[in-house]
Each structure stands twice: as structure tokens, then as C-alpha cells.
Amino acid sequence: MKATIITIGDEILIGQIIDTNSAFIAKSLDKIGVQTHEFLSISDDKKHILDTFSSLQNKVDLVIITGGLGPTKDDITKHTFCEYFEDVLIENQDVFAHVKEIIEGFFKRPLTQINRDQALVPSKCQVLFNKMGTAPGMWMKKENTVYISLPGVPYEMKYIIENEVIPKIVKEYKRPYIIHKTILTYGQGESLIAERIENWENNLPEFIKLAYLPSPGKVRLRLTARGSEKEILENAIEKNVSSLAKIISDIIVGYDEDETIEVVLGRLLSQQQKTIATAESCTGGKIAQVITSVSGASKYFRGSIVSYATDIKVSVLGVLQDTINNHSVVSAEVGKEMAIGVQQLMKTDYAIATTGNAGPNKGDADALVGTVFIALATPDDIIIEEFNFGQPREKVIDRTVNKALEMLQKEILKNL
Amino acid sequence: MKATIITIGDEILIGQIIDTNSAFIAKSLDKIGVQTHEFLSISDDKKHILDTFSSLQNKVDLVIITGGLGPTKDDITKHTFCEYFEDVLIENQDVFAHVKEIIEGFFKRPLTQINRDQALVPSKCQVLFNKMGTAPGMWMKKENTVYISLPGVPYEMKYIIENEVIPKIVKEYKRPYIIHKTILTYGQGESLIAERIENWENNLPEFIKLAYLPSPGKVRLRLTARGSEKEILENAIEKNVSSLAKIISDIIVGYDEDETIEVVLGRLLSQQQKTIATAESCTGGKIAQVITSVSGASKYFRGSIVSYATDIKVSVLGVLQDTINNHSVVSAEVGKEMAIGVQQLMKTDYAIATTGNAGPNKGDADALVGTVFIALATPDDIIIEEFNFGQPREKVIDRTVNKALEMLQKEILKNL
């Protein structure tokens, strides 16, 4: 079973917004064994949309379209659907009642014609209920291809995919098995890993594919097995993952594809009933923000001091003015005092501190652009590392966040 | 002049990573008047790549491909280029010297065969120098279409686009004019704005298109004019933007498409030599992180206290235990004391505080999931607003950040 995912909108084609909908939909389809053949982003142009629809008919089983369903004049998907399916728009009573409830009941505003038009759908479509907004999803079939139209707003699209589209596909279609297993590694580059596992990779069975997914500081290795016999696939994946684990055990930190390092850390800290705080300079609060993006973080995360101005390192964190004068504000010594300072102030087991120059300009300190010190205070020790992450600014910040979380994870695992 | 942008990689089609490269490339092309016709994401499959290349030949002027150039076995773009252009790989001496310098000079590691293979390129290609990494970009022409292959790593791709691809296009091709103007609005939804500007929108000239780009708490309106006479386009855009500004002056906060609210705020605070700090609970440091994502933020941002645990609101920010007991930790009163606390602690002109329940579960307080209080301390006043941003967690955090920055901007503009 094959799908193509289309996003409609000029704002995507001029790079003004980044399409995250297609990835979400592809991931959801992948989990139920539907393979995504292509993503396409096209303009808000009727002819372009119609040509694309025709080119996909009978080529794929599913075409999932996001965007172009809003209430404003630049949204034309619904009218284009009518033209493609030789259909007319009619007012759907359930959708109308729902739109009325949102506008009058929740927003306490009078219903306008523009709101009312949201309830118009092609007469032959099956409506996919959109609890999160006013624009309904639509499911229509032409010969062997189903066309599904969804709103472009991510929260609305996600709701309809999870509650309407996926259950309907699972109910109505038979699908093959696709099994993925992702291995998270830290600290070595793609080439080096490739050399280490070359023999193992050459011996993978035909039906298993390996992909390297590098990002700053880490590489994910993804194994994908496809076939009709679930058990064979599972056994083969398990066998190959365990032989791989023997070769690169020193750099493997986790296995689940959805499991980010902050999720793994959260579980480790909760299990051990340990707490953490951060004292951040160059990362500007990003470590705290990443840790608290995990729901339930209040169990182990107590807080952070973002000491962007130098004097706040002294007044709030208790760094000694002498240490700053003698070693500069970007130094191992200041990082150490920041970590210990926040550990004591917030009474935590662990504390992370960062001080560095993210660039692009030289700051207060003499340190080169890209230089960062990360200090990790543990219940009985303090570890400090120096890095140069180069440029641009965004990369320095991201790599510092990754490195800091990696150092913390290593230390917690060591104390298990 | 028309372009199609292709990303190659199974990791995109299973939703494991989000493609941000295409948006960057499209934006860069748009600035020099090259229109992007489509984005395509396809698999690491030779036949799929070749079919796609053929289907675009003589249909568009430029095909820009990212991904599939790394050193590992799942990267097949280079071999596929050879097949499509009936060419062979040869070692490029300049690229080889550069790879050698990176591996031996910078990483201090011996050169391996995998590293050396990075210097192989099709014999007929023009190499696009990649200062940021080992995989070179390639420029090859077949009949009327130029095919450009770039590495998938964003920092490398960006370097080659900015320093090689764009200058080469500007030098070698004549292009039409495309002018965009984006108007940032805050606080009203897409439908309401559409009603207010309906007459104005209906009177736009044929060559100007309007798009609504909604995101949590804000809507951007984008005008695009296309044509051959630069001056006519500029005058028409200017005239229509100024008539629009008269209709919705109450909700317009800025004009530049690249200008985010944090950049606008940074400029305002710098100009007025005012400083800011934040005290964050439910936002977990994200307001600080957004403010410090702007380079030069140290001029006006002094720091943040992320007081995730309730007792840190008391011990570090000086919130009274009685206030928490009497009003609960998610309350206007606690928000107010947090804002004043951090304003005094960090000696700033402005201070933002957030306290709320981002969900998905009920926390310490009685407040409903999604409830957030934002307090803004100014040099002579304190403003507190209550919101309910619903769910999911990620949306509550993002909307709180947007709302807080919007409140700050309004207040600064008022005091100008």
C-alpha cells in the first residue's frame, strides 16, 4: 500500500514556513505499514493541483493533502476537489452545528458568512470530523485512489489523522509489515561508524535496509525490514541489532526512535529519584527548555538560572568576582562555580552549567567564537569539558545542549 | 525561471527527520526572482531518482537536490548522477586536498578510503566548493535543465547555496522581478481579518497575490507582486500596503518577513537602552531562549530564573509562601510576585513572568490544564493577563511565549 503526501501553499514554496505536517503523516502511516512514496509541495494554483491529482490517480493508493482549507480567499482546495470529482459543495449539517458551537459557544462571536462557508463540503465526500477547528477533513475516492484533504494547521491535522484517518485505513485495508529499529549513538561521526560496522553491514539480509541519520554530535542508525511474515522480520531485526550492539557498545545510548535524550534522561532521573538544575549562560535557557519539553519534568527538574549578564553570575549564582577577573567569564573555573552555585541554590543532585561564546561576535571574554565550557556537578564530583563548536551561533547552542545532556546521561549511567 | 527542489532520503519519507533544507533554498531563490515550482521528497532508490530526473528535464530550468552525498553506503546520489549523465567518477584534486586538510589537519585522524572517496565526482561536473564539510556540491547540465546536487547537512548546504549557487545563477541567468511584503499582525484570527479587509482585497491588481499565514496568536499577510517592471511592482505594493495599514492599524506589529518579534523587541530595547529579565515556570526557559536566539541579546537581556519547583519561587524569587497558600501557585498574584521578584533581583527595566499548567496532567495547582498567567513588570506598572490555551502541551508553551513577547512589545511601544 503506497501513499503520496501533498502540501498545498505558496508560503511553503517561497520558504516562509517549514512543512512539518508531511513528516507527521508519514510517521503515522509508517507505523501501520503504509509506505510513503513521495512528498510533494505545490502552489495554491488550481491547474497545478488538478494536474498533480491526475498524475497520481491509480499510481498510489492514498493521496493525503494538507492545506488550502481555511476560510480565506487564498484557500482553494475545496473548490478544486469539486472540479476534480465533478461534484458540488453542499452544507453539511454536522459540520455546521460544530462550527456554530465553536464560534458562538466558545468564541462568543456572531456567526459570519465566512464561518458558515466552512461547513460546505463536496456532496460525495465522507467528512472526517475536526474536533480541533472549523475546517473538516474530506475523504473521496476516484477509481483506485483515495484522496484525503486535511486542514494545514498542525493541531487540527494531527487530530484528524489520529482519530479519523488512521483508524479508517486500519479498518478498510490490508497492509504488509514494516518494522523499524533505531539505534542512537553519541560521540562518533558517520564515517567512523561506517568503518567499524562495515562487515556487519555487508552481511545484512536483502530485506533489511540500513540508514545513517547524522545530526550534530550524534548519529542514529535505522534498520528497516519489510515483508509479509511479521515473525521473520522481527527475529532478523533482533538478531542483527544484537550483533551490532556488540561491535559499537561504547557509543550506543538508546534504541527507540521516538526516544530523545531528554526523554531517556527524564526516565533515569525519575527512577532514581534524583533532581537536576541548570545554570546557563551561552545556551540562554535552552537546556532548561529541552528538559521541560517532556511532560512530567517537574518530578526531577527544579529550575534554572540563566545568568546572561556577568554580574548575575556573581549576585545570584555566587561565582567569585576574583574567579572572573583571574580566568575570564568564559573559563572552566567560572563554569565550575556556576554549576556548584546552582546545585546549592536549588538543592539538587545534579547541576549543569554552560559558559561560552556562541558568536557571531566576540563578547565580554577573550575566548574564541564557538568556545564553550560545560560543567556537570554530580552528588560527589564535578566534571568540566571544553569545546569549540565553530559557527554559526545556532549550531553552537544546539551542540552545547546535546553535549551537556550526553555528559549528564553518561554520568547517571555510571552511577546506576 | 523555474526551479524544482528535491530532497533524497528514506528518513524523510518515514517522518524521522523534517526537511528544512527545501525552505531555505526556496527562500534564497525567491530573493533573486527564481520561482520554485515544486518541492519533492523521494527515496534513496536509484530508479526513483532517475525517473524523477527524467520527468523534470526541460520542464524546469533548475533542479536542486539535497541529500545522498555522505560517505556511507545508503548515499547513492553521486552514482545516480553518473548514470543519468552517462559519466564516470574521477578524483578531484582540489576536493581531495580539502578533505585531507579537514581529516588530517583538523580532526588529526588518518585518512581512510571512505574519506578519500568523498573527493570522487562525475568527470563532467562543475564542483561547488564546500568549505563546511567533505562532500562537494555538483553542477551539471542536460539540455535546458541544470541539476545541482548538494549535501543534506544544513550548515554545508547553506554555505554552498550562499557562496556558490546563488552567485552563479545571478551571473549566468536573466530573471524577472518578484517582490514580497509581509505584514505581521497579532491578536486576531484569519477569518476576522479577512472580513475586515475584504473590500481592499477585492480591489488588489491582478499581479498582486495575497496569502494568509496563520500561526498560534498571530497571522502574517503576505503580498506578492510579479512582473517585468520593478518600479511598477514596488509602487503598487507600497500603495496597497499603506491602504491596508489604515484598515487594520490596531493589529499590525511589523512588516519584514524575516523580522520575528524577538528581533523587533531586541531593536526596541537596544535603542531605548532598556533591560529585561524573565521568571518562568510553565514555559521552562523558552522565553529566555527565544530572546537569546538573537545575536547581541546581551545588550538588553540580563537573565532568567526558571522556577519550576514551587519552593524556588519562594527561595530565589521571593514570592511569599502565603500568596501561594492563599491563591495557589498558578494565579495572578503569584505571577505578579514572580515578575517583581526577578525585576528586583536582576535590576532590570522590564520583567516577564509565567505561571501556568501546560498539561497534559494537572500539576500541583488547581488550575485547569492550559491555564496560564502572564505578568509583565514595567518601570512603573505591572500588567497581568490570564489565558487558557487548551492543549497540547507544546501549543500552550508556544502560545504563552508569543503572548508574553506581544505584551512586552505593546508596552514598549506605548512608552516610546
Helix (H) or strand (E) holding B220: strand B218-227
pLDDT value for B74: 66
Q: What is the pLDDT of residues A20-46, one digit of tens each?
A: 999 999 999 988 889 999 999 999 889
> Residue B20: its chain A contacts at CB < 8 A?
18
Query: What is the rounded average pLDDT of the residues B348-373?
Result: 88
Q: What is the dotted CATH code of the domain comprising B177-254?
A: 3.30.70.2860
Q: Is B265 strand, coil or helix?
A: helix
User: In 10 A of CB A321, how many CB atoms?
Assistant: 12
Q: Which of A105-119, A190-204, B327-341, B342-356 comes out lowest in average pLDDT?
A: A105-119
Closest-CA residue of chain B to A25: B15
- What whole-number distance in Å separates Cα of residue A82 and Cα of residue A63? 16
Residue B395 has pLDDT above 90, yes or no: no
Which of A5, A53, A74 would best serve as a mutation to test chain B binding (most B beta carbons within 10 A)?
Answer: A74
Residue B71 has pLDDT above 70, yes or no: no
- What whole-number distance in Å separates Cα of residue B202 and Cα of residue B5? 33
**Residue ranges, CATH 3.30.70.2860, chain B:** 177-254
> Residue B280: its chain A contacts at CB < 8 A?
285
Residue A68 has pLDDT above 80, yes or no: no
Instruction: Pick the closest to residue B355 from B287, B303, B274, B292 (CA basis).
Output: B287
8 Å CB contact between B63 and B147: yes
pLDDT band at B73 (very low <50, low <70, confident <90, very high): low
CB contact (8 A) between residue A296 and residue B361: yes
CB contact (8 A) between residue A191 and residue B153: no
- ipTM for the predicted complex comes to 0.72
> Residue B258: its chain A contacts at CB < 8 A?
none
- What whole-number distance in Å separates Cα of residue A61 and Cα of residue A2? 5
Whether residue A354 lies within 8 A of chain B, CB to CB, comes out as no
Please name the fold of domain B261-414.
Answer: Maf protein (3.90.950)
Beta pairing class for A62-66 and A2-8: parallel
pLDDT value for A257: 62
Contacts 24+ apart (CB under 8 A), B211-214: B211/A9, B211/A10, B211/A11, B211/A44, B211/A74, B212/A70, B212/A72, B212/A74, B213/A11, B213/A16, B213/A17, B214/A70, B214/A153, B214/B189, B214/B190
Which stretches within A248-383 are classed as H helix? 261-272, 286-292, 310-315, 321-327, 332-346
> Residue B209: its chain A contacts at CB < 8 A?
10, 74
pTM exceeds 0.80, yes or no: no
Show which of residues 313-352 on chain B sit within 8 Å of chain A, judged by CB atoms: 315-316, 345-346
Helix (H) or strand (E) holding A132: none
Q: Is A235 strand, coil or helix?
A: helix
> Residue B76: its chain A contacts at CB < 8 A?
none
Q: Find all residues with CB under 8 Å of A74, minimum gap 6, and list them.
A: A10, A44, B209, B210, B211, B212
8 Å CB contact between A384 and A373: yes
Whether residue B104 lies within 8 A of chain A, CB to CB, comes out as no
Calculate Rg over the CA atoms of chain A. 26
Whether residue A394 lies within 8 A of chain B, CB to CB, comes out as yes
Show which of residues 245-274 on chain A sit within 8 Å of chain B, judged by CB atoms: 257
Please count the residues of chain A.
416
Instruction: Pick the closest to residue A283 from A411, A412, A404, A408 (CA basis).
Output: A404
Task: Name the residue facing B393 among A153, A295, A361 (closest C-beta).
Answer: A295
DSSP per-residue codes, B391-405: S-HHHHHHHHHHHHH
Q: What is the pLDDT of residues A197-239, one digit of tens each?
A: 999 999 999 999 898 887 766 788 989 998 888 899 999 999 9
> Residue B301: its chain A contacts at CB < 8 A?
284, 308-309
Query: What is the rounded average pLDDT of the residues A276-289?
Result: 97
Which of B4, B12, B13 would best serve as a mutation to test chain A binding (most A beta carbons within 10 A)?
Answer: B13
Helix (H) or strand (E) holding A256: none
Which of B308, B348, B397 would best serve as a mutation to test chain A binding (most A beta carbons within 10 A)?
Answer: B308
Q: What is the dihedral of CA A186, A192, A194, A197, to 10 degrees?
A: -80
CB contact (8 A) between residue B15 and residue A26: yes
8 Å CB contact between A369 and A359: yes
Burial of B175-203, coded b for 16+ CB within 10 Å and e otherwise, reads: eeebbbbbbbbbebebbbbbebbeeebee
> Residue B153: its chain A contacts at CB < 8 A?
214
Q: Is A352 strand, coil or helix?
A: strand
B77-84 and B46-56 helices cross at what angle (nearest 10)? 50
pLDDT value for B31: 84
Q: Is A153 strand, coil or helix?
A: coil
CB contact (8 A) between residue A288 and residue B306: yes
CB contact (8 A) between residue B302 and residue A308: yes
Q: What is the pLDDT of residues A121-168, one digit of tens each?
A: 999 999 999 988 888 999 999 999 999 999 988 889 999 999 999 999
- What whole-number distance in Å separates Cα of residue B312 and Cα of residue A277? 11
Query: What is the rounded average pLDDT of the residues B13-30?
Result: 92
Closest-CA residue of chain B to A293: B394
Whether residue B214 lies within 8 A of chain A, CB to CB, comes out as yes
**Residue ranges, CATH 3.90.950.20, chain A:** 261-414
> Residue B19: its chain A contacts at CB < 8 A?
18-19, 23, 39
Q: What is the pLDDT of residues A303-336, one digit of tens each?
A: 999 999 999 999 999 999 999 999 999 999 999 9
Question: Rounded to the nearest 5 degrees, what angle is found at the Cα of A287, between the Cα atoms of B260 and A275?
Answer: 145
Q: Does domain A2-172 have CATH number 3.40.980.10?
A: yes
pLDDT, chain A, mean: 91
Between the CA of residue A343 and those of A296, A311, A348, A380, B22, what are the distances in Å? 21, 19, 5, 12, 43
8 Å CB contact between A153 and A66: no
CB contact (8 A) between residue B191 and residue A72: yes
**Residue ranges, CATH 3.40.980.10, chain B:** 2-172
Q: Which of A287-296, B211-220, B302-311 comes out lowest in average pLDDT?
A: B211-220
